[in-house]
Homo-oligomer: A and B are copies of this chain.
Amino acid sequence: MQFSQRLQEYIQTIERALDEYLTVQGCTGQQSIVEAMRYSALAGGKRLRPVLTMEFCRVSGGQPQDALPFACALEMIHTYSLIHDDLPCMDDDDLRRGRPTSHKVYGEGMAVLAGDALLTYAFETAAGAAQNPRLTAQQMVQAVGVLAHEAGYFSMIGGQVLDLAAEHKQLSYEELVDLQDKKTGGLIRAATQMGCIVGGATAQQMQAAKIYADRLGLAFQIQDDILDIEGDQSVFGKPIGSDEKSGKSTFPKLLGLSACRKMVRELTDEATEAVKVFPSSDFLIELAEQLVDRRS
């Protein structure tokens, strides 16, 4: 199957499933929060993390469909993190993907709760995979453990804390790598690991998936920093130069643009090299290449 066809199929499957998970029966009086959860979760986006979960399940020898609850759980967690990140007491952003942020539409209290609800529902969704007879309860528990670990204060939330502490402070290269490895890398690692667990990957494959996630996560973030300098605002979807304005530590500021481009290239090569241990790695290689070439 062609790369773009498979990617489209994954994205459609994920968006359909998210829509279904967030169509709620049996809620009396609290439909307003479901609306707020849907507003943010069904607002488009690359769906990179859930796509990775499904593809790593497939290349590990599983049915991508079996990884769907975990893929959706991951996207719910990614969405909640954006809602809370946009709050006035955090980054205080009014726009996300060209639309008003959750607290602008629903108020701050409801935005906090919508984030909390998406995070909690992610684990209910993951636990719901137990109904699939092809999955062992062992796989389930392992995947839930990975999800909670990489979304928590060791990893993603830890990265947010480092980010909050780094405001108006210039980080060293090592500190910035550590921050991004947690903040962006955490959920990407979870994505690949959960796919491997559900697909029944070998220990060697799990390790390769981890390298792919680490390299890809960092390349993704450096590319983001590059686009914030030389991107096209109408394609990028957020204002160009916002990092500079907010005084944020970035890779181009530390290393210069040309060294950053070189790093993105090298990290991508390492990522694509690593996944060659899987019998079929074309999609993962193409996906990594597209992320390097992206303009948005």
Q: Let me know if A123 is at the binding interface, CB within 8 A.
A: yes
Of the candidates B29, B112, B137, B157, the one whose C-beta lies within 8 Å of that of A178 is B29
Cβ distance A226 to chain B, nearest Cβ, rounded Å:
25
Cβ distance A74 to chain B, nearest Cβ, rounded Å:
13
| Interface contact A158-B30, CB-CB below 8 Å | yes
Of the candidates B128, B159, B178, the one whose C-beta lies within 8 Å of that of A145 is B128
Q: Let me know if A255 is at the binding interface, CB within 8 A.
A: no
User: With the chains together, A296 CA to B190 CA distance in Å?
Assistant: 43
User: With the chains together, A110 CA to B165 CA distance in Å?
Assistant: 10
Q: Give the nearest-CB partner of A166 in chain B.
A: B29
Copies in the complex: 2
In the bound complex, residues from chain B placing their C-beta under 8 Å from that of A43 are none
A29-B162, A110-B164, A154-B27 as given contacts; A130 in contact with B120, CB under 8 Å = no
The count of residues in chain A whose C-beta lies closer than 8 Å to any C-beta of chain B is 58
Q: Give the nearest-CB partner of A125 in chain B.
A: B148
- Which parts of A52-85 form the interface with B (CB within 8 Å)? 80, 84
User: With the chains together, A24 CA to B161 CA distance in Å?
Assistant: 15
| Interface contact B137-A121, CB-CB below 8 Å | no
Of the candidates B84, B117, B137, the one whose C-beta lies within 8 Å of that of A116 is B84
User: With the chains together, A89 CA to B28 CA distance in Å?
Assistant: 24
User: With the chains together, A182 CA to B124 CA distance in Å?
Assistant: 17
User: With the chains together, A213 CA to B80 CA distance in Å?
Assistant: 30
In the bound complex, residues from chain B placing their C-beta under 8 Å from that of A182 are 30
Starting from the known contacts A27-B154, A30-B157, A140-B141, 15 additional A-B residue pairs (CB-CB under 8 Å) come to A24-B153, A29-B175, A29-B178, A30-B161, A33-B153, A89-B109, A109-B164, A110-B164, A117-B152, A120-B153, A120-B157, A123-B123, A124-B152, A130-B142, A141-B144
